[in-house]
């Protein structure tokens, strides 16, 4: 991660933990509105808040499902997380982001215990490894990240493509993504936080319709993690289908440099962009 002291968000007011008031900085900005965040930034903060409610029993984030009720604007937000189903082996957490008197994102996260289980030989799926991030093609950012302002997709993450990618129109794409700034100052990113923040890029990695001509904004994000990813790089193997009814579906297989560790999905609102 970068060490210049900047972060995606910073605590505001009396925020002393993962929940509470935070301020989204310019490093959280998204591609659709200059004053609104990329979905990966608040999603990462909600993953962090959910994780904090499992630390006492060494539980890990296994899944998170978020509904986006509206754009999350840069500036002050309230991050909320509370246990709705306690447990030492499995725990369910309600998460939300509020601002301006509205709930802008809401969802559920599942935490499960870390364990050691003897499995029969041959039951684990073994796949061929992807080419590593050092073998990827640098993204032509001007073709997908218009403007010069700092932004989550343009400034906060390094993106290299293996196949297709956000700067090329197509149904499928494979990229590596590395979040280069902490979510909050002075705190190392966890693998789950990296995975959830990266997963929201899926509809940008694979888009059958072009930037500028169309909107293809995700209305939700669901991430399921078979295990905790290792390392700084998250691989996305994404596929997007769009329909004339004005919707789309992105499905993403998530990888680290040792192999597949999870899946993600997004439902998209699709429309012609206004001139």
Alpha carbons 236 and 161: distance in angstroms, whole number: 10
Alpha carbons 213 and 39: distance in angstroms, whole number: 21
Q: Are 153 and 38 a contacting pair, CB within 8 Å?
A: yes
Per-residue pLDDT of the chain (275 residues; tens, 9 = 90+): 665 789 999 998 765 577 899 999 999 998 888 899 999 999 999 999 999 999 989 999 999 999 999 999 999 999 999 999 999 999 999 999 999 999 999 999 999 999 988 888 888 888 888 899 999 998 876 656 556 678 888 889 999 999 999 989 999 999 999 999 999 999 999 999 999 999 999 999 999 999 889 999 999 999 999 999 999 999 999 999 999 999 999 999 999 999 999 999 999 999 998 86
Alpha carbons 79 and 18: distance in angstroms, whole number: 8
SS3 category, 133 = helix
Q: What are the structural domains of the chain?
A: 9-114+138-272 (2.40.160.210)
Cα 129 to the center of its chain, rounded Å: 22
Alpha carbons 43 and 266: distance in angstroms, whole number: 13
* pTM, entire model: 0.94
């Amino acid at each position: 991660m970068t060490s210049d002291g900047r972060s995606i968000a910073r605590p505001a007011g009396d925020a002393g933990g993962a929940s509470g008031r935070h301020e989204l900085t310019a490093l959280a900005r998204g591609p659709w509105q200059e004053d609104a965040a990329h979905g990966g930034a608040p999603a990462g903060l909600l993953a962090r808040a959910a994780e904090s409610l499992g630390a006492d029993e060494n539980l890990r984030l296994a899944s998170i499902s978020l509904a986006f009720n509206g754009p999350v604007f840069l500036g002050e937000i309230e991050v909320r997380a509370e246990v709705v189903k306690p447990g030492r082996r499995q725990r369910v957490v309600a998460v939300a982001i509020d601002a301006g008197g509205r709930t802008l994102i809401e969802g559920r996260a599942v935490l499960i215990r870390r364990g050691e289980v003897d499995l029969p030989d041959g039951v684990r799926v073994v796949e061929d490894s992807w080419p590593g991030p050092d073998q990827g093609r640098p993204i032509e950012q001007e073709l997908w990240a218009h403007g010069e302002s700092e932004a989550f997709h343009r400034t906060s993450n390094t993106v290299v493509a293996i196949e297709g990618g956000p700067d090329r129109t197509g149904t499928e794409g494979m990229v590596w993504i590395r979040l280069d700034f902490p979510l909050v100052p002075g705190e190392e990113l966890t693998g789950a936080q990296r995975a959830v923040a990266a997963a929201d890029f899926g509809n940008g990695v694979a888009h059958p319709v072009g930037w500028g001509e169309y909107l293809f904004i995700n209305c939700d994000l669901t991430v399921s993690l078979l295990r905790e990813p290792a390392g700084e790089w998250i691989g996305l193997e994404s596929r997007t289908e769009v329909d004339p009814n004005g919707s789309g579906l992105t499905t993403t297989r998530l990888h680290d440099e040792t192999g597949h560790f999870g899946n993600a999905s997004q439902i998209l609102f699709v429309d012609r962009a206004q001139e």
